[in-house]
Amino acid sequence: KDFSYSFATDSELLHAEVDVNRAYARMLAKVGLISRADARKIVKGLDAVELSWKPVTRSKYSALYEDIHSFIQGELEKRIGAVAKKIHTGRSRNDLVVTSTRVYLRAEIEAISEKIRETQRALVYLARKAKGMIIPGMTHLKKAQPVLLSHHLLAYVEMLQDDSDRLRNARARVNVLGLGSAALAGSALPLDQKFLARELGFERITSNSMAATSDRAFIAEVLSVLAMLWMHLSRLADDFILWNSEPFNFVELDDEFATGSSLMPQKKNPDIFELIRGRSGVIFGHLMSILTIQKGLSLCYNRDLQEDKPGLFDTIYKTHLALKLLPLTLRSVTFNPESMALSLLDDTLFATDIVEYLVRKGMAFSDAHETVGKVIRTSIESRKPLRALKLDVYKKFSNKFGPDIYKLFNAEASVRAKKTVGSTNPGRVGREMTKWERLLRKK
């Protein structure tokens, strides 16, 4: 029993399965397989089973019932007697378990989508708070070009929107009715699948009973979308961990969302961000599990498929918790503009601006790139920042350099000069913020 029973885990499906059973009882009465009176008794009994559910029920019954299906059946029998046996007419646990899982997952997709929006709102709030602040954008973890901090934060709003869209898209493949498939071949009884689909809010009825009872790709799809979400969350977390580290010191975390060290009294650690970064590894593991559980598995139902649930439930649980904490943590962050200004005291951040300056004056791009490279070498060799090199030094490399070159060593000017759609230009970033505030408004 310890080895094979799944009640301790799949009792998570209780409410979904009770909903499925209520609809199923009404359907059986509608087509005349059971009487209206029996259906009423069953529905009432199901209400009672659901009402008496307490979290301790899980541990109390975990050695008594094999799974959530036998639990509901057994508890129903205790309450209404032999009539309870009619609820399983024309179906198998094979088409039942997948239906309850789909009902459960559909609701979780809604709830997680709303939590993603809440995280996006917190990021837009922070972006607004960071208005006008400039940091060195990095590639290869090295200073590259000045960017607006708001632009950096909105990058995550954009990525999370993709995750949200992917989740909504995956819902279409979750929201399919599998009942009527029975164990694998379908049923000879006059089950009304259209009625069930309507009652349970399914958009579609399966067109293949073997696919319906075998396939858990809908779980793999949701887990892969959530893995991508966690991939983004781990990068977001890592940026804040970096910005919170001493060399950066761009952000300060609220005491409520940081912990100290048991040894070093001066410490304030970004635990929530570190746990999000670390936990993403666990989430990726669950995706690998659901893929491997199904790999090479012959049709139709095999008990292997029972293993689809622990990773699914754990992913959903961890995602809810992370998305509950993250918006609160983000909103509590304060910025240190002084540290940002200090980190911009590196003239090589403007190297690309100088290249584009030369291109605007008619030099071919590759020549401009090479020329600025040489200027930088001179600056390093003479131990002078770029802005300290005299104009005649610049002129030695190209006569296209003029006195206006010195206007380039300015982070505001650098971001303001950007023109392309999606760039870090302050006007554009401002309009993006307004756009997101409108799109994410609470309905």
Query: 140, 207, 262, 298: which is the annotated catalytic residue?
Result: 140
Q: Is 9 in the site for ligand ARG (CB under 6 A)?
A: no
Q: Kindly state the smallest distance separating residue 294's Cβ from ligand ARG, in Å.
A: 13
Q: Kindly state the smallest distance separating residue 158's Cβ from ligand ARG, in Å.
A: 38
Which residues touch 382 (CB under 8 Å, ≥6 apart)? Answer: 389
Instruction: Tell which one of 21, 62, 94, 280 touches ligand ARG (CB under 6 A).
Output: 94
Q: Kindly state the smallest distance separating residue 319's Cβ from ligand ARG, in Å.
A: 21
Q: Which of 65, 202 has the CB closer to ligand ARG?
A: 65
**Residues between 298 and 357 that touch ligand ARG (CB under 6 A):** 301, 303, 305-306
Q: Kindly state the smallest distance separating residue 95's Cβ from ligand ARG, in Å.
A: 9
Q: Kindly state the smallest distance separating residue 5's Cβ from ligand ARG, in Å.
A: 8
CA nearest 130: which of 122, 140, 141? 122
User: What is residue 251's three-state secondary structure?
Assistant: strand
Q: Which of 6, 289 has the CB closer to ligand ARG?
A: 6
CA nearest 250: which of 261, 239, 259, 260? 239
140 classed as catalytic = yes
Tell me which DSSP letter residue 335 carries: E
115 is written with which tokens?
A: 């939590």
Query: 35, 59, 261, 366: which is the annotated catalytic residue?
Result: 261
Binding letters toward ligand ARG, positions 244-283, x by CB under 6 A = ----------------------------------------
Region of 44-52, 82-90, 92-100, 426-434 interacting with ligand ARG (CB under 6 A): 92-100
Give the CA radius of gyration of the chain: 30
- Output phi, psi for 31, to 5 deg: -90, 0
Residues that contact ligand ARG, how many (by CB under 6 A) = 10
Instruction: Tell which one of 6, 193, 234, 315 touches ligand ARG (CB under 6 A).
Output: 6
User: What is residue 204's three-state secondary structure?
Assistant: strand
Q: Kindly state the smallest distance separating residue 303's Cβ from ligand ARG, in Å.
A: 6
Q: Give DSSP secondary structure letters for 107-160.
A: HHHHHHHHHHHHHHHHHHHHHHHTTT-EEEEEETTEEEEEEEHHHHHHHHHHHH
Tokens 């690998």 sit on residue = 288
Residue type at 141? Answer: L
Which residues touch 207 (CB under 8 Å, ≥6 apart)? Answer: none
Q: Kindly state the smallest distance separating residue 321's Cβ from ligand ARG, in Å.
A: 24
Q: First-to-last CA distance in the chain?
A: 48
Angle at which helix 217-244 crosses helix 271-294, to 10 degrees, equals: 160
Q: Which of 101, 120 has the CB closer to ligand ARG?
A: 101
If you count them, how many residues does the chain have? 443
**Residues between 36 and 75 that touch ligand ARG (CB under 6 A):** 67
Binding letters toward ligand ARG, positions 95-114, x by CB under 6 A = --x-----------------
Region of 90-98, 153-161, 204-212, 242-250 interacting with ligand ARG (CB under 6 A): 90-98
User: What is residue 65's three-state secondary structure?
Assistant: coil
Which residues are designated catalytic? Answer: 140, 261
Residues lying near ligand ARG in the complex (CB under 6 A): 6, 10, 67, 93-94, 97, 301, 303, 305-306
